[in-house]
């Protein structure tokens, strides 16, 4: 069957065997693992995952045409869910999956932020491909221009490791941009906040005005701004990029204490 890739679904399929092998190996898949693959496409990576023989493989693919191809190729070796990953409820993630995803670039930040902010969704590990620009933001250091909202969310929940950049030629059709593979291992002792929505909102408010001093927003958010800034050791002349992940979380805790 002739298959035409849909740009709107980010269909750039990985074809480089070395990279496919490398990605599958990073997960260190064991017999006990339940693997979840997001956007398996034509199943190029799925093949390597099957070879590692995990306990179960579940794949989520939005494109029904690809579901048909996957069914034919893998029969009952995998469980295929024909759905939009953005529409899966938190209850779907009841197993602590080892997740693989060569994510469609147009939804990668959205789904990843949702996973970070959900209290119920837990993973064993995530191995995800992002467009390089987004990956650079996730792994950015404080006080750099790439330090962003997604840096805070990712580093709150996970230890993040860059595995490698992946060049456009490793895909077909080949995209215009470079990609980067990242590995996320859940942190054991995450800083506890009552409601992740507050982290979502506070980071949104600050990073919407990335280049401005935080003063105006800070005073709006905290009646006791003088006390909060001294306790957390944040200067009102700081810019969002100067505030560490830990300090952002302490800000959320102060905000939640003020709500009491
Ligand atoms: N993993 C495959 C590979 O590496 O060859 C394909 C990766 S391709 C970049 C992205 C895949 O995600 C496509 O198969 C596409 O149809 C699927 N996809 C796009 N949007 C999706 C969504 N919202 N939910 C689930 N799958 C989606």
pLDDT band at 10 (very low <50, low <70, confident <90, very high): confident
The finding on whether 27 has its CB within 6 A of some atom of ligand 1 is: no
CA of 243 to the centre of ligand 1 (A): 35
Q: Is the pLDDT of residue 199 over 90?
A: yes
How high does pLDDT run on average in the chain? 96
The finding on whether 63 has its CB within 6 A of some atom of ligand 1 is: yes
CA of 208 to the centre of ligand 1 (A): 29
**Structural domains in the chain plus CATH codes:** 7-186 (3.40.50.150), 196-258 (1.10.8.100)
According to the model, what pLDDT value does residue 37 have? Answer: 98
Facing residues of 171 across strands?
14
Q: CB neighbours of 101 closer than 8 A, spacing ≥ 6?
A: 37, 38, 39, 126, 127, 128, 129
Nearest Cα residue to 53 out of 73, 26, 34, 72: 34
Read off the pLDDT of each residue in 248-255 and give the average, rounded to a whole number: 97
> Could you give phi then psi for residue 133, rounded to 5 degrees?
-60, -40
> Could you give phi then psi for residue 163, rounded to 5 degrees?
-90, -55
pLDDT band at 103 (very low <50, low <70, confident <90, very high): confident
CA of 202 to the centre of ligand 1 (A): 31
The finding on whether 108 has its CB within 6 A of some atom of ligand 1 is: no
Burial category of 54 from C-beta neighbours within 10 Å (exposed 0-12, middle 13-18, buried 19 and up): middle
pLDDT tens track for 69-83: 999 999 999 999 999
Nearest Cα residue to 126 out of 191, 168, 187: 187
CA of 110 to the centre of ligand 1 (A): 14
């Amino acid at each position: 069957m002739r298959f035409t890739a849909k740009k709107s679904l980010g269909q750039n399929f990985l074809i480089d065997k070395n990279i496919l092998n490398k990605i599958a190996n990073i997960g260190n898949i064991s017999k006990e693992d339940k693997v979840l693959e997001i956007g398996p496409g034509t199943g190029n990576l799925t093949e390597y995952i099957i070879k590692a023989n995990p306990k179960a493989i579940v794949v989520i693919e939005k494109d029904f045409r690809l579901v048909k191809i996957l069914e034919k190729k893998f029969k009952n070796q995998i469980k295929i869910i024909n759905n939009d990953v953005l529409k899966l409820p938190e209850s779907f993630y009841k197993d602590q999956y080892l997740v693989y995803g060569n994510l469609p670039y147009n939804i990668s930040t959205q789904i990843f932020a949702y996973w970070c902010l959900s209290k119920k969704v837990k993973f064993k590990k995530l191995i995800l491909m992002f467009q390089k620009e987004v990956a650079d933001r996730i792994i950015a250091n404080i006080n750099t221009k790439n330090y962003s909202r997604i840096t805070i969310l990712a580093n709150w929940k996970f230890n993040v490791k860059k595995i490698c950049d992946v060049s456009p030629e490793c895909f077909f059709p080949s995209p215009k941009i470079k990609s980067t593979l990242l590995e996320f291992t859940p942190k054991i002792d995450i800083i506890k906040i009552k409601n992740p929505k507050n982290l979502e909102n506070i980071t949104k408010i600050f990073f919407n005005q990335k280049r401005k001093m935080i003063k105006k927003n800070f005073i709006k958010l905290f009646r006791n701004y003088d006390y909060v800034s001294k306790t957390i050791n944040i200067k009102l002349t700081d810019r969002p990029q100067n505030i560490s992940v830990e300090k952002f979380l302490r800000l959320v805790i102060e905000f939640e204490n003020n709500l009491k």
